[in-house]
Amino acid sequence: MRVSDKILLAGLVIIDHLFATNFVEREVARRKAKVARSEARLAEISEQLVKLEGLLETAKLQLCLLYLRQRNLLLPHRWLYFDPANSQEDKGLDLLIDHLVKPRLAATELQEVDKNRYIYKLEPDWAAIGDFLAQREADLQPEIADWLKTLKKGLPT
C-alpha cells in the first residue's frame, strides 16, 4: 500500500472516530469494487489471449500446409524429403519441425543417402492435423482443404 493511501485511510479513521461517520467503509467498498472490475477485465483479457493463441497456432499450421502444398506441386516425387545441405530446404524443414513436429502433428525420419550425407523425411499425421483444424474450426483455403481430403483418402499425391 502506498504512503498516500495509508495517510488517507488514517485520516478517514480519525474522521470516522470523531464524527461517527463511515468513510472508511465506503472507501474500502469502493476499492473492493475497483479490484473486482480489474479482475473481471483481467479474466476477459486472458480469455482473449487464449483465443488469439489458438488463432496463431492455426495460422502457423496453415502456413506449413501451404508450404507443403507448394512443395507437392513443384516436387511431386520428393515433396516430403528435405536435404539439409540445401539452405532453402533446411529453412523449410525448420519451419515444419517447429510447427508440425514439436506439436506432434508430424514426425521426421533421418535417412542416409550416401556416406556422411543424410536427408530428412517428413511424415505428417494427417488425421491429427485434421483433428487440430476441426477443433479450432479453421477455415482453410478451398484448394488446401481439397488437397487434405485427397491425402486423407490415400490417393496418389
Q: What is the pLDDT of residues 27-81, one digit of tens each?
A: 889 999 999 999 999 999 999 999 999 889 999 999 999 999 999 999 999 999 9
- Supply the range of the domain harboring residue 78: 3-153
Q: Is the pTM of this model over 0.75?
A: no
β-pairing verdict for 106-114 and 117-124: antiparallel
Pairwise CA distance, residues 154 & 35, whole Å:
56
Cβ-count burial 24-41 (b if 16+ within 10 Å, e if not):
beebeeeeeeeeeeeeee
How far is the C-alpha of 93 from the C-alpha of 101, rounded, in Å? 10
Radius of gyration over every alpha carbon of the chain, rounded to an integer in angstroms: 29
List beta partners, residue 112. 118
Residue 154: pLDDT band with limits 50, 70, 90: low
User: What pLDDT score does 157 carry?
Assistant: 45
The letter for the amino acid at 35 is V
**If DSSP states are collapsed to H, E and C, what string results for 14-70?**
HHHHHHCCCHHHHHHHHHHHHHHHHHHHHHHHHHHHHHHHHHHHHHHHHHHHHHHHH
Question: How many domains does one find in the chain?
Answer: 1
Q: Read off the pLDDT of each residue in 101-123 and give the average, rounded to a whole number.
A: 92
